[in-house]
Structure 1
Amino acid sequence: KHHEQEAEIVSQAGQLGKVTIATNMAGRGTDIKLGPGVTELGGLHILGTSRHESRRIDNQLRGRSGRQGDPGSSRFYLSLEDDLLRIFGSDRISGIMEKLGMGEDEPIEHNMISRAIENAQRKVEGHNFDIRKHLLEYDDVMNKQREVIYKQRCEVLAEGDSAKETIKAMLADLIDQVVEDFATDKDPSEEWQWSEISERLHALLGFRLVWQEAERRSLDDEKFREKLMEEAQRVYAQREAQTGSETMRHLERVVFLQIVDTHWKEHLLNMDHLKEGIGLRGYGQKNPLNEYKREGYEMFMDMVGRVKEQTVSTLFRIQLVQEDEVQRMAREQRERQQEMRLSRGADEDAGRKPLKRVGGKIGRNDPCPCGSGEKYKRCCGKAE
């Protein structure tokens, strides 16, 4: 953008014989002063080749002339093929002109046409306003989801045991989901899917629970939930005792933030894709905004569930390695790579043998062995 250069060009538009062409006109904060002799000729004249969708832009262009009491005039030329006139109904006007035998270059001037064009502009402005209004409503859906994610991030980043409490709440939600999926009160405990429960716990938390037959019969869903939570907290407390409380709090923050940021970026992209095609739901007699809210909420809750599951599973399975152990492993890997390179080089050297000529020496006057038909001295033997 070159605002200063544009303002300088616009300021010289009132000079005698000056023609200034602009694709989209605005004030640029510059007053157009009329040059000598321009006032006597009628002042600055504005020619518009089309009408903008917004009346404000047309009024800005008209306002360039007749400023501060100076004389001036403006005139707009429109084509029936302009987008704005197509909204007005240019096909009907073309049909009337053909019936009346009017030529293509014959102008049409009437106040009714000017009023009709202004009405078309009002309709377009109203349509654009509705678009901006709906855009704000769509953005409000994302804003509410953003508030939830950012609030949770701030809680985890806070000092103290806030991260531990967040992980504990995630763990409780996941255990509730396991109980809801496999151990409902609708069925007796003997008919619960115990093998699926064991596999699910192992995949999620890395441990399996063994239940005696008598103990199974005495369980209901609430007692089962309590026992699962007690066992999960016991395993987590053991991991914290091994790594240290301070290290565990740091791990909780790092793991959660990395996972939630990754899934949040993917969710933003998916929401953009959803918004691009949600307008087509209107053809199915459905409100696109309501459909966007509903599907966006489902996608958001699915994303939150994946964040909980991946965060808890990672913290229950993560293994810490000391820095000297990492250095030792890296050194061993470099040594193995060096040994492989040396052994490969030795094999290549062993496989190399000196080249030997097959057959006797070729005479200079003998036919060239390349098959050209020339003597060897005039063909391949020139280089010797």
Structure 2
Amino acid sequence: MLGGLAKALFGSSNDRYVKSLRPIVQKIGSYEPALEAMSDEDLAGQTVKFRQRLDAGETLDSLLPEAFATVREAARRVLGQRHYDVQMIGGIVLHRGEIAEMRTGEGKTLVATLAVYLNALPGQGVHVVTVNDYLATRDAEWMGRVYRFLGLTVGTIVPNLTDGQRRDAYRCDITYGTNNEFGFDYLRDNMKYERSSMVHRPFHYAVVDEVDSVLIDEARTPLIISGPTDDKSELYKSVDAIVKQVEKSDYEFDEKQRSVVLTEDGTERLERLLEAAGLLEGDNLYDFENTQVVHHLNQALRANIAFKRDTDYIVKDGKIIIIDEFTGRMMDGRRWSDGLHQAVEAKEGVNIEPENQTMASITFQNYFRMYPKLGGMTGTAATEAHEFYQIYKMNVVTIPTNLPVKRIDQDDEFYKNIQDKFAAITQAIREAKERGQPVLVGTVSIEKSELLSEFLTKEGVAHNVLNARYHEQEAHIVAQAGRLNAVTIATNMAGRGTDIQLGGNLEFRLLDEHPDLEIGTPEFDAAAERIRAEIIVEKERVLAAGGLFVLGTERHESRRIDNQLRGRSGRQGDPGLSRFYLSLDDDLLRIFGPQTMFARMMNKNLQDGEAIVSPWISKAIETAQKKVEARNYDVRKQVVEYDDVMNDQRKVIYEQRADIMDAETVDEVVADMRAETANAIVGEACPPNSYPEQWDMEMLTARAADVLGIAPPFDEWLAQDGIDPELLTEKVQAEADAIIAAKQADIDEQSWHGIEKSVLLQSLDHHWKEHLATLDALRQVIHLRAYAQKTPINEYKQEAFALFERMLVAIREEVTRILAHAHFERTSELPELPPMPDFITSHLDPLTGEDNSGDRDAGALGLISSRAPQGALGLAGDGFAISPEVAATLTRNSPCPCGSGRKYKHCHGAL
């Protein structure tokens, strides 16, 4: 109560923050008269002056008012658009690394130019992140006119560019692209063998458009680069044929978790079917020998039962194409991992492509946290403000609208079943069409949009359908959704990026009606003038009819998506209307709603065709949505917790890769590896404080020959007085060094350096890939530790750290072994570094079965020593350990924190 009173008297914290920015906006306005009087050349020359002032020691904050005023004037001259004062507030918020929540139609694309221009002045590169390639290309061209006018360079990152084109785009002052392209370029850069072939520059500043879609919705799934493994298509087909014979009594299906579990009877039945097909070893499905069959069986069950055609995926041109659950878009080229995609391919009878093994991965959370400063903008962020701050340390600021919002948001209407609901929707659309009011109908899936489309067609209601099947016509359909009598069915309006303008869109009408006319010709100008006049008249009629009517056919799992749909109506002070129609058959109510209460209310109190309209029921629906949002947040939080463990290791590996690429020679690193390996081999066979007769000389001889390529006279050495493990280690090291020195003398010095670098990088990459696969497998089973009253994430950290140490040991051994056993010839030609491996990119969820990345069978650790490693983030002889968190802050040449007095790279940071 007191809080409500204080808010009424003093305004909310958001209101007070926005109010505090008003003096800066007034200062920006004070520069306007002087800038208006400048010539185009003088205005463009402001950029050079600003950069000189930065070089002289001024800060970006001190330049902000004048720089923002310069951009406003440039946009007015180039685009014919002048930033409103509220847009200036949005620009300040973006510059400060916060999220600007601005309603649809308030000009977020134009707002970004302010912060982007200011932060591009230091010349370190600004990334503008969009949700799809169309918007990246469109915005780079559209807003690029302002930047180029002011003397800045603009690049665009889209698929299918060469490395040279990408490098050029990243060298620009401002680079537009999608979150996926930026992230994949970062991963690909860290798989390359030469620094000169990398495309990214050091991270500086980024602005994320549709920030909730990018940093929340898509952040549940990491970016994965993977390569193909063995073909198992026949096994998928065989298992799929068996799974198609299961009955409902054979399994239990959890729709919330999308998991399928066999019952006891179902297990027995499937065991007999698998046995008859010759796929079962022994007679027990869960014997160790049948691990792979169980995995394939689980994925086939999920593909056939949990995943629905035209909802989760579509079949197009003989391929399974995933449908993005948040935007309704086709995710062409993306594949579910861990064998799920192959199981769906077998289910639909299309060509089965091989499984993939993870080669590199990163979550969006950890990718975007690498930017020293990050800003974002969207129409809907307030409901996720807590998560934005917890994960990204970004505050959400709600920016006031330029004109008051006139849209009327009506309470939801509830019907007994889906037939009654569709009948009411049809009636509402008919009434709107009679008034001439355009209707935007929002659905949650392709299946629902096509079901409604069939219903409307039978009822004789003309309409357009916008979903993943008609992806190519998307912008054209959305652009004309505000025309008189228009009825548009859309699957999830999140991030469409095209404004719905009442009366129609001039640009798209010209493209649709006069595609042959060239811009600038008299015929084109005449057609444009005629259509412009028609749009003005039509807009007046639409406004009189009440503006755009947004009709939701059911609630989405997230309130944000509902708000995005609503936000399409009532832009820039236009009138509008929004209403949602619900029934007990809707997925949200069926899966997450308080079923008993709703069922009783609907069945006892409602007649067929009758509706309930109540704010209290709308509140209950919002509670169900909050449950789903909380569950999804927990999933994303868990993704971050697990990826943070890998991220610490990723930073160490990528930094060491960069050091190797930058070094002229890696002689020192390789020699240290050889010494560590010799020390480990001798230490394994000849433990400290033991007698020579206790030493395992047979193992030492075999290991020295296998790893170091030497056959020392151990019998002679043992006969010497005073021999101990330390002296033995020195002798073994000397023999190993002599072998390498002889090889090095046989070939050109520069070639030898190239060979060492190539072997080191390839070994590092191979074992890192194997390590990722092992961590993927570990993450899938670590939750079982909870049964032993242990915290899975803590267990995962310990296991992952131990695996990382063992990986470093394996790298040292392999590099030493290859160089010791390889044969080289003298040549004047430098050895060529290997080409980039073939791989595919994917963006898939590691915490639900359909989205696990990596191959279960890829984590073989056969080359890894069982002995505890020494150095390289492991335990030193004195028991000192350095955590990955600390290691990530150290450079190769910094003093080692263990106090040895040696450089980190020669002590605990040795590979």
- TM-score normalised by length of structure 2: 0.33
C-alpha displacement at 1:68, in angstroms?
4.0
Q: Tell me which residue corresponds to 1:178.
A: 681
Kindly provide the amino acid, as one letter, of the partner of residue 264 in structure 1.
Answer: W
Q: Distance in 1 between matches of 2:630 and 2:786?
A: 19
Partner of 1:21: 489
Q: Counterpart in 2 of 1:302?
A: 806
Q: Which region of structure 1 is more displaced relative to structure 2, 266-275 or 298-307?
A: 266-275
5+ unaligned residues in a row in structure 2: which ranges?
1-131, 139-472, 504-537, 828-911
The equivalent position to 2:583 in structure 1, one of 79, 90, 99, is: 79
CA shift for structure 1 position 120:
2.1
Amino acid paired to 1:306: A
Change (3 A) 1:101 1:53: closer
Q: Does 1:289 align with 2:757?
A: no
Q: 1:6 to 1:248 in 2, by over 3 A?
A: closer
Q: 1:315 to 1:66 in 2, by over 3 A?
A: closer
Counterpart in the other structure of 2:595: 90
Q: Give the greater-gyration-radius structure (CA).
A: 1
Q: Which letter does structure 2 place at the counterpart of 1:294?
A: Q
What is the aligned partner in structure 1 of residue 632 from structure 2? 128
Separation in 1 of the partners of 2:718 and 2:640? 59
Please tell me whether the aligned partners of residues 475 and 498 of structure 2 are also in contact (alpha carbons under 8 angstroms).
Answer: yes
Determine if contact 1:50/1:78 at 8 Å carries over to the other structure: yes
How far apart, CA to CA, are the structure 2 residues paired with 1:302 and 1:257?
A: 17
Q: Which one-letter code corresponds to 2:497 in the other structure?
A: R
Listed as ranges, the matches of 1:54-69 within 5 Å are 54-69=558-573
Structure 1 portions without partners, runs of 5+: 324-384
CA distance in 1, matches of 2:727, 2:700: 15
In the aligned structure 1, how far is the partner of 2:627 from the partner of 2:565? 21
SS at structure 2 position matched to 1:78:
strand
Give the corresponding residue for 1:209: 712
How far apart, in 1, do the equivalents of 2:651 and 2:678 lie?
26
* Separation in 2, partners of 1:189, 1:76: 84
Q: Per the alignment, in what secondary structure is the counterpart of residue 21 of structure 1?
A: strand
Give 1:90's aligned amino acid: Q
Contact 1:46–1:62 (CA under 8 A) maintained in structure 2: yes
**Matched residues in 2 for 1:286 and 1:232: separation?**
45
In the alignment, residue 16 of structure 1 is paired with which amino acid?
A: L
Judged with a 3 Å threshold, the aligned counterparts in structure 2 of structure 1 residues 17 and 280 are, in CA distance, closer, same or farther, namely farther
The amino acid that maps onto 1:30 is D
Shift of 1:31: 4.4
**Other-structure match for 1:194:** 697
Please say if 1:317 is aligned against 2:821. Answer: yes
Equivalent residue of 1:77, what SS?
strand
Residues 1:287 and 1:80: Cα distance change in structure 2 (over 3 Å): farther
- Contact 1:206-1:316 within 8 A present in 2 as well: yes
State the 1:289 CA deviation: 2.6
Q: How many angstroms does 1:78 deviate by?
A: 1.5
Give the aligned residue type for 1:205.
Answer: L
Higher strand share: 2
Alpha carbons of structure 1 residues 57 and 97: separation in structure 2 relative to 1, 3 Å: closer
Output one character per residue of 1:203-233: Cα deviation in whole Å (capped at 9) or x when no partner: 1112222233764562222222222223322
Go from structure 1 to structure 2 and tell me whether the alpha carbon gap of 1:147 and 1:16 turns closer, same or farther (over 3 Å shift): closer
**Structure 1 residue 267: Cα displacement:** 2.8
Work out the CA distance in 2 between the residues paired with 1:64 and 1:209: 79
Are residues 281 and 95 of structure 1, via their aligned partners in 2, closer, same or farther at CA, if it must alter by over 3 Å? farther
Shift of the 83–276 alpha-carbon distance from structure 1 to 2, 3 Å rule, reads: farther
- Structure 1's 74 and 234: CA in aligned 2 closer, same or farther, altered over 3 A? same
Provide the C-alpha distance between the structure 2 equivalents of 1:108 and 1:217, rounded to a whole number of angstroms. Answer: 98
Q: Deviations over 1:10-51 (max 9, x none)?
A: 343333322111111256342432545444444432211111
Equivalent-residue separation in structure 1 for 2:806 and 2:610 (angstroms): 64
- The structure where helix makes up a greater share of residues is 1
Matched residue of 2:486: which SS? coil
The answer to whether the 8 Å contact 2:687/2:725 transfers is yes
Q: 1:191 to 1:157 in 2, by over 3 A?
A: same
Quickly say closer, same or farther: Cα 1:199–1:15, change in 2 above 3 A: closer
Q: Which amino acid aligns with 1:227?
A: K
CA contact (8 A) 1:189 1:216 kept: no
Q: Which stretch shifts more, 264-273 or 168-177?
A: 264-273
Q: Structure 1 residues 22, 309: closer, same or farther in 2, change over 3 A?
A: same
Amino-acid identity (%): 42
1:32 aligns with 2:536: no
- C-alpha deviation, 1:310, in angstroms: 1.5
User: What amino acid maps onto 1:148 in structure 2?
Assistant: V
- Distance, in Å, in 1 between the alignment partners of 2:541 and 2:769 is 63
Alignment of 1:242-261 (within 5 A): 242-261=746-765
Q: Against the structure 1 CA distance between its residues 95 and 237, is the aligned structure 2 distance closer, same or farther, given a 3 Å change threshold?
A: same
- How high is the TM-score relative to the length of structure 1? 0.73
Do the aligned partners of 1:48 and 1:76 also contact (CA within 8 Å) in 2?
yes
C-alpha distance in structure 1 between counterparts of 2:486 and 2:741, whole Å: 84
1:45 aligns with: 549
Q: 2:671 corresponds to which residue?
A: 168
Are the counterparts in 1 of residues 747 and 826 from structure 2 also a CA contact under 8 Å? no
CA distance in 2, matches of 1:81, 1:186: 75
Distance in 2 between residues matched to 1:175 and 1:133, nearest whole Å: 43
Q: Secondary structure at the match of 1:50?
A: coil
SS in 2 for 1:51: coil
For 2:593 and 2:696, the matched residues in 1 are separated by 68
- Return the offset for 1:52: 1.4
